[in-house]
Amino acid sequence: MGSFGGAESFSIKRGKATNILALGKAFPKQLVMQDLLVDGYFRNTNCTDPDLKKKLTRLCKTTTVKTRYLVMCDEILENHPELARDGQPTLRQRLEISHEAVTEMAIEASRSCVKAWGRPFAAITHLVYVSSSEARFPSGDLHLARALRLNPDVSRVMLAFAGCSGGVAGLRVAKDIAENNPGSRVLLATSETTIVGFRPPNPHRPYDLVGAALFGDGAGAVVLGTDPILGTETPMFELSSAIQQYLPDTDKTIQGELTEEGISFLLGRELPLVIENHVEAFCKKLAMEGARGESHDVNYNDMFWAMHPGGPAILNKVESRLRLCPDKLNASRQALRDYGNASSNTIIYVLENIIEESRKKKESGESDCEWGLILAFGPGITFEGILARNLMV
């Protein structure tokens, strides 16, 4: 029995546990340096509004993002100048570009993940595909399965429009599948691009500037399964319990609407505060999922934290509400710095950072936290959480 929270009696229920067996990621070609973003964006959209420019410049600093990857590039704007203008019916063009890009990134992330896993694609029995960046029949899971030449009888499912919580929702669904299908190996792929919502700056849409300063594109992949074949597979995390919860009357806090002009986002300024007000109860419930029905005080600083970095304000509020030591959200802050908020993908980048941190700590003989929480918040407001064990410590 493992334990955490500094209390020996706080032990984990042992059941059928799913292991993360490999991780992978991929990005579009366009690497954007945050310092150069404002000039490029205003030039590309022919915007000369000095106040908007100043505001975006401020936001680019406060988001803490340094680099990220974007599908949008000069070549796309040369071919589709209408994407840089307001009021144009451009949904078809945006989706065409997005569909090709998200499938390409998901293929690359999956290949890199399966290579790291060390077994063939033929051993994949299930596919979970997550994206809020596409809308088509047949859906992206089939396009990905075909491109990867997965067996035609692979069981597929797509989670669409789960936004930032999609990556953890995908882990939860993959865990359920793995635990109910002995011997299965589940490939989870996530892929997102902001091109569907790319807009010129507009004083009536201040949240678009938050998106321009914060959001990134990319893909992620994970292979999951129970009963790892030791010697062939290397389990990295054990996913113990997963829960989901939505907060009533918060459906207007993150809104995305698909219009003729693409997806239009509305981000409520209250989001960091809403998360702060509910995170403690959610984390306690999640931690208790692993307890033997007894109530204990959890010391969150004895756990590792893999939290989706929605934005720095969200990380700061969670850190202060749970009284986390400053280094606890390092993996999330680093993912945000390197890739921006890449929606459902970002949790996969955070998990990679945690593994890298563990490797370094092991090399230097430092102790590391065995148990931890994988967390994300998305539209709804929906909280997704998984109590997990780091097997690399």
Ligand X SMILES: CC(C)(COP(=O)(O)OP(=O)(O)OC[C@H]1O[C@@H](n2cnc3c(N)ncnc32)[C@H](O)[C@@H]1OP(=O)(O)O)[C@@H](O)C(=O)NCCC(=O)NCCSC(=O)/C=C/c1ccc(O)cc1
Catalytically active residues, by annotation: 164
Name the residue type at position 108.
E
- To ligand X, the closest distance from the beta carbon of 111 in angstroms equals 21
Q: Which of 37, 59, 83, 381 binds ligand X (CB under 6 A)?
A: 59
Burial of 349 (0-12, 13-18, 19+ CB in 10 A): buried
| Residue owning tokens 């680099």 | 67
The continuous run of DSSP H or E covering 281 comes out as helix 271-289
Question: CA nearest 192: which of 225, 170, 218?
Answer: 218
Q: Which is nearer to ligand X, 290 or 312 (CB)?
A: 312
Q: Which residues pair with 377 in a beta bridge?
A: 383
Q: Which is nearer to ligand X, 127 or 219 (CB)?
A: 219
- Check if the beta carbon of residue 312 is closer than 8 Å to that of residue 98: no
Interface positions, 200-219, toward ligand X (CB under 6 A): 206-207, 210, 215, 217
CA distance 247 to 273: 13
Interface positions, 183-202, toward ligand X (CB under 6 A): 192-194
The continuous run of DSSP H or E covering 31 comes out as strand 30-33
Interface positions, 293-322, toward ligand X (CB under 6 A): 310-314
DSSP 95-155: HHHHHHHHHHHHHHHHHHHHHHHTS-GGG--EEEEEESS---SS-HHHHHHHHTT--TT-E
Question: CA nearest 316: which of 269, 275, 368?
Answer: 275
- To ligand X, the closest distance from the beta carbon of 303 in angstroms equals 23
- To ligand X, the closest distance from the beta carbon of 120 in angstroms equals 31
3-state secondary structure of 213: helix
x/- mask, ligand X, residues 122-161, rule CB under 6 A, reads -----------x----------------------------
Is residue 56 a contact residue for ligand X (CB under 6 A)? no
- To ligand X, the closest distance from the beta carbon of 129 in angstroms equals 15
Is residue 271 a contact residue for ligand X (CB under 6 A)? yes
x/- mask, ligand X, residues 360-379, rule CB under 6 A, reads --------------------
Taking CB atoms, the residue at the shortest distance from ligand X is: 311
Q: Which of 163, 167, 200, 228 binds ligand X (CB under 6 A)?
A: 163
188 phi and psi angles, rounded to 5 deg: -105, 125
CA distance 91 to 109: 26
Strand 237-246 versus strand 186-192 pairing type: unpaired
Interface positions, 235-254, toward ligand X (CB under 6 A): 254
Q: Which of 14, 16, 269, 323 binds ligand X (CB under 6 A)?
A: 269
Q: Which is nearer to ligand X, 167 or 290 (CB)?
A: 167
Q: Which is nearer to ligand X, 139 or 264 (CB)?
A: 264
Q: Which is nearer to ligand X, 5 or 311 (CB)?
A: 311
Binding-site residue total for ligand X (CB under 6 A)? 29
Is residue 335 a contact residue for ligand X (CB under 6 A)? no
Q: Which of 190, 191, 241, 343 binds ligand X (CB under 6 A)?
A: 343
Q: Which is nearer to ligand X, 63 or 332 (CB)?
A: 63
CA distance 106 to 147: 10
Burial of 119 (0-12, 13-18, 19+ CB in 10 A): middle
Residues lying near ligand X in the complex (CB under 6 A) are found at 55, 58-59, 62-63, 133, 163-164, 192-194, 206-207, 210, 215, 217, 254, 267, 269, 271-272, 310-314, 341-343
